[in-house]
Amino acid sequence: MIWRKFTKTAVLKLLLLTGFSVALFGIARAQDEGVVAGSSATALYTAHNIWFEKPEVIYVINYKRGQMIPAGTEVTSVRIGNRNIRFQAVGWEGYEFNFILGKHQGNLTIGAVHERTFVHEPLLTLTEEMTEHEIRCIESGSVEPGMSKKAVLISQGYPPRHRPPNLDLRQWIYWGNRFKNFIVKFDGEGRVIQ
């Protein structure tokens, strides 16, 4: 009899405790994976050009193939997962993009990817101190001599984390596709020379 009473009490406490834990876990999980940004009064924009062949599989390495979502495109419905960011883009109705943090990105977190991929400033603000030449290169997704490092970042996105491990270096390596890369070289002033 005592055992049954203990068991009923223990089960009740366990259920209450489990329900409370599940509720807390569900809230934490929703905050971790269901972060919705860009739905508030502050708009979000792409910080750099993003290329894709399939909208559901866009690697953070940002291969330069397929269609290009231009830098400065307003984004909506941004949802952050453990290793990906899903979003929609104004002017790209019917598409849901999935930006995936793949391997070879070192200790890069999905939060850091979000911070460097989406900004609150429109392209006009980001490029206000740039030359017309740099702005044309950004719009076409190209790199040409004379561009600043900031202009290259907006045009091409960030180079893979391991090549270079540091943006202060004078040589950045980007991937055109899975098998071919290209090198951008800078002078001592941080301008493209090759």
Helix, strand, or coil (residue 116): helix
Could you tell me if residue 1 is inside a domain? no
Could you tell me if residue 16 is inside a domain? no
Question: Which range marks the domain in which residue 170 is found?
Answer: 37-185
Helix, strand, or coil (residue 33): helix
Q: Taking the CB of residue 63, how many other CB atoms lie within 10 A of it? A: 17
Per-residue pLDDT band at 148 (split at 50, 70, 90): very high
Which tens digit of pLDDT belongs to each residue from 72-131?
A: 999 999 999 999 999 999 999 999 999 999 876 778 899 999 999 999 999 999 999 999
Q: What is each CA distance from 50 to 10, 65, 108, 115, in whole angstroms?
A: 55, 10, 18, 15
Q: Are strands 181-185 and 171-175 parallel, antiparallel or unpaired?
A: antiparallel
Could you tell me if residue 19 is inside a domain? no
Could you tell me if residue 4 is inside a domain? no
- How many distinct structural domains can be found in the chain? 1
Would the pLDDT of 13 be above 80?
Answer: no
Could you tell me if residue 150 is inside a domain? yes
Q: State CA 139 to chain mean position distance.
A: 19
Could you tell me if residue 113 is inside a domain? yes
Q: Taking the CB of residue 102, how many other CB atoms lie within 10 A of it? A: 12
Q: Taking the CB of residue 151, how many other CB atoms lie within 10 A of it? A: 25
- The amino acid at residue 187 is D
* pLDDT at residue 162, as a whole number: 65
Could you tell me if residue 26 is inside a domain? no
Could you tell me if residue 22 is inside a domain? no
